[in-house]
A and B are shown apart, each in its own frame.
Chain A
Amino acid sequence: MAEQDLYQSAAGDKPAAPTRREAYEASVRRRSNRIALTSTAVVLLSVFILVPLAPGWEAVQRSFFNGEVFAKTFPGLLNAFLLDVMIFAWCAPLIALVGLGIALCRDVRAPALFPLRLFGAVYTDVFRGLPVVLVIYLIGFGIPGLGLPRPWNSPYIWGSLALILVYAAYVAEVIRSGIDSIHQSQRAAAASLGLSDADTMRFVVLPQAIRNVVPANMNLFIALQKDVALLSFIGPVEIFRQAGVYKSLYANFTPYVGAALIFLALTIPATRYADYLMNKQNRRRR
């Protein structure tokens, strides 16, 4: 009798009972989790024990991790970060637009439009070949130096323009790689239906291309969010510069740590999300 019961439950009308394979895989998983946990604990412990033993630790702690300074400056830093977010918010859509335009320039076939094609190629080569901060200096100091009247001498305008020009070049390259990734047979199918080249691009190629490069573009926009801090070199008091002001005021580096935390709070989730999208897409393609 008992033997029969055992046999029936093994035959599996109860889905809860794991199969032999599942049981094996679960034990392997438990084992690797144990190993990972142990090694992480060892590393963290040694950091917490060894670093404070360093001779300069007390001084570093005082000037970088000062709780009092942190509490006093953090709200001001957050406030300054709003400016970063605003600069980002008006640059991002313009970058997407200009980048798309440049990518399309590089794809035109008509000989009459060859200058556009050439312009697209030169543009991307130049702006991908320069350090961002150099472009910001050249445009941010150069153009207002022409003695333009207010508000056209604002560093906000020209600093933003510099970011837009540089990042549009990268976005254009990403979009172009997306366009190249669409198989020739899609264009052939569209052409065989009598669609014009422009309609083929607009309705068939671009929608697929842009969807394919969303994760890559997200990574670019995360980099942009960080590079907004470079505008501080030409004037705007955004978070990085505000941290510098506080540093001088309190003779303490803690505001920089505060600024770093604020950046990370935004960029880490965004990076994770981009990775998630990228993985999802890779899985789908396989």
Chain B
Amino acid sequence: MSAKLSLRGVRKRFGDHEVCKGIDLDVGEGEMVCLIGASGSGKSTLLRCMNLLEPIDDGAIWLDGDDISEPGRDPQPVRQRIGIVFQSYNLFPHMTASENVMLAPRRVKGLSRDELRPQVTELFTRFGLGDRMEHYPDQLSGGQQQRVAIIRALAMAPEIMLFDEITSALDPELVGEVLDVLRDLRRQGMTMVLATHEMGFARELADKVCFLDAGRILEQGPPEAVFGAPREERTRAFLSRVL
């Protein structure tokens, strides 16, 4: 078991509705895995399970060979190692961009603002927001807010990053700037799992594409295989609708 993150038979239900019906998935170190699938197929839920925002009902999640899904285990140390970025940014509206980014490192890692400043400034500059650090979220465009949200997650120096349709709330002309950030992270060798509707992007950069359908991974493989020669009828039907 050499994968960075492994899911085995993961099940999750909300009331009577089983959203994940036994998911098996391996994410290797430095890999980028894309989850695709129709609305309601369980992509967001699966991502939230991976960093323990939702407890799973059955199965197991392994991080570096360590079972993190054990019931009763403290989720906080795991969440520090797995960052997540949401579709709706979820920045803290009463804090400036830089305060948003520094809160968790200050409180969780006990670093001071002065210690953090150089590293945080570097992140903002790298993602083209060097002059926006002291702005409040409502003074930023959607694309800028989403980049701040990514910086906020990166500032905890996570080993894995999860992205939940981070471009779907953005105006088309702002999508590019956020995808560039992902390309940049990809080059740095970050391990990433994305739920996405950007099929072109998935095809260009993913190591592995997983097609989710009604809580199951129906098909997975390299993008050429899944996009170029899908085996399953339902995958073909989905792709013909979105491409």
* B43 part of interface (Cβ distance < 8 Å): no
* A207 part of interface (Cβ distance < 8 Å): yes
The 0/1 profile, CB within 8 Å of B marked 1, for residues 197-217 of chain A is: 001000110011001000000
Could you tell me if B83 and A192 are in contact, using CB atoms closer than 8 angstroms?
yes
The 0/1 profile, CB within 8 Å of B marked 1, for residues 175-211 of chain A is: 0000000000110111111111001000110011001
When distances are taken between beta carbons in the complex, the residues of chain A under 8 Å from B75 are 191
- CA of A247 to CA of B90, assembled, Å: 62
Interface of A is mostly: helix
- Of B75, B79, B90, B91, the most chain A CB neighbours within 10 A belong to B90
The residue on B at minimum CB distance from A183 is B90
When distances are taken between beta carbons in the complex, the residues of chain B under 8 Å from A185 are 86, 88, 90
Could you tell me if B90 and A193 are in contact, using CB atoms closer than 8 angstroms?
no
The 0/1 profile, CB within 8 Å of A marked 1, for residues 82-98 of chain B is: 01101010111110000
How many A residues have CB within 8 A of the partner chain?
17
When distances are taken between beta carbons in the complex, the residues of chain A under 8 Å from B53 are 188, 191-192
Given A185-B86, A185-B88, are A194 and B94 neighbors across the interface (CB < 8 Å)? no
The 0/1 profile, CB within 8 Å of B marked 1, for residues 208-242 of chain A is: 10010000000000000000000000000000000
Could you tell me if A195 and B93 are in contact, using CB atoms closer than 8 angstroms?
no
Could you tell me if B103 and A194 are in contact, using CB atoms closer than 8 angstroms?
no
* B111 part of interface (Cβ distance < 8 Å): no
**A200 CB to nearest chain B CB (Å):** 9
When distances are taken between beta carbons in the complex, the residues of chain B under 8 Å from A188 are 48, 53, 86, 90
- A sample of 11 inter-chain contacts (CB < 8 A) reads A185-B88, A188-B53, A189-B90, A190-B92, A192-B79, A192-B83, A192-B153, A193-B108, A194-B108, A195-B103, A207-B94
Besides A194-B79, A199-B108, 19 other A-B contacts (C-beta < 8 A)? A185-B86, A185-B90, A186-B92, A188-B86, A189-B86, A189-B91, A190-B104, A191-B53, A192-B153, A193-B83, A193-B104, A194-B108, A195-B104, A195-B107, A196-B107, A203-B103, A203-B107, A204-B103, A211-B94
